[in-house]
Structure 1
Amino acid sequence: DRRGVRLFLLLGGGLLLLELLDKRGISLFPFTRSVRVGGYLLLALLFLRLRRRCSGRSLLERPHTDGSWVPSLLRGDRVLFLLGVLFLMAPLTEAAWKREVAPLRPFSLSRIETQIRLSRPSGETAGLVRWVREHTPKGSLFVVPPLDVRFLPFRLTAERGVFITIYDINQLAFDVAVYPQGHRRLTRIGVRPIGRHQIEGDFYDAIPLRVLERLRDESGVDYFVARSGRIPPALRRVRPSYADAHFTLYDLRRLPENGEGQPR
């Protein structure tokens, strides 16, 4: 049925074109999930109908001589079958949500998944991030362990300001424009640069009270995140705002006035 084959190819090509346009942010009409699923379902039904009308035995059942498999494979029903499999892989992998076949999924779905994965609390910082979202005002500024890769997405996941992270530190070696401010922020949290690509790693767990006070009063920092089990001595008598097995959060407004550990 040549008319059916043309309709099948036209529908499949149209869906593929819409996926490519959607990937680039071009929308001819609202290409919603229902439209996408409906189109692939219609394509599947058309494929099954055409497949049933194809007569003859399968490729494995048909006798052929050496060198004759190529023209046999290129016959209309074989091409139809292969195209049907390719077109149906997109909704099947979408339903399975398998990362290992991400290139075969609809492009817009891959983009949405990436956005969700980067903005969703996960891993050892998940509890801290959820608490920060629920109990701290937007616009708050946090000091986090600057060499800890677990805080790389903290700005996005917590939706709060971060004084400096390992991402910012990495930029200092490559972007001259950000170096002065980045270097200034490192020194304000007590970092002593050892070389162009190396800084002292233990400073954070021993940050003194005077540095915390300067961060609060001069840099506008609201909260300090310490690693649980490695609390700086200056904060050991300060009541934390949040604590779990991985991280402890301190409100710098509760720092002691006289250095004796009494919250104000």
Structure 2
Amino acid sequence: MALLDRSRCFALVAGLLTACPPADSGTASEPQTTTSSAATTGTTTTTETGPTTGSTGGESTTGGGEAKRCQSQCDNDRDCRIDGGDLGFRCIDGLCLFPPCTSDAQCLAELSGWKTPCAGPGECAAEEACVLVADAGRCALTPATFACADFGLVEQTLPLFEGRGEATVCGQAAATCEAGACQSPCAGDEACLPQTGHPVCDVPSGACVCQIDQDCLDSGLPGYVQCVAGRCGCAVDSDCAGGQNVDTCYAGACGCSADATCTVAVFDGAPLVCQ
């Protein structure tokens, strides 16, 4: 799979390569899922804290209560592949979801985008190296055309899976598995990509946050117009216009109002339903 194809797959699922992608990264309803440059797909947030600037005003939101999302329904794990590729999503209770983590090493690989198995360099894209990760070969992005910082990652040196030598690859600085969820706290603003709407690293908490409404507006993404409690969100339904699989603002989060809103599938064999 070419780098651009793999990057598109990462963008469809939530979460990379950032320390703090939106919540519910396993669903297809977030308006920002088509533009995130993150290379990870698991839940990677820490508890977000930060100042709030309040609502931007305007029309009332029509969605009350908990936000409804476009969920991907499945019968088996194959339904949860993306462009034929297995990115780790599984069919759990009839929905394509990312399974809970079991180790820190697994989280480091997942959040770094080291997901494709390999037995040698010929099995990875030209921009990748086959490196040893937790006793297995994994394709990892190397800093060439892109800098690791472009993805909110740092340079790391890992042993090559086959043969002697090492390779410099892009990965998360650290990651842990806590209560079944992968966590990757930020250490500086470079880990918090502006397009996520959380461009500032709150170092004490390790969370990427917004501080003012302009942080959210600068992202240019649908549904990001105000900063509330360190998180970018919508104020009214019209803020969600232009986002995929969303049309309603539920208490600051864009979601769907009906199945008809769910028009852009994420997984190969998993139709969407608004619930």
The verdict on a shared fold, with TM-score over 0.5 as the criterion, is no
| Higher strand proportion (structure 1 or 2) | 2
Normalised TM-score (structure 2): 0.23
Q: Please identify the structure whose Cα radius of gyration is greater.
A: 1
| Higher helix proportion (structure 1 or 2) | 1
Normalised TM-score (structure 1): 0.24
Q: Which protein, 1 or 2, shows the higher relative CO under an 8 Å CA cutoff with sep ≥ 6?
A: 2
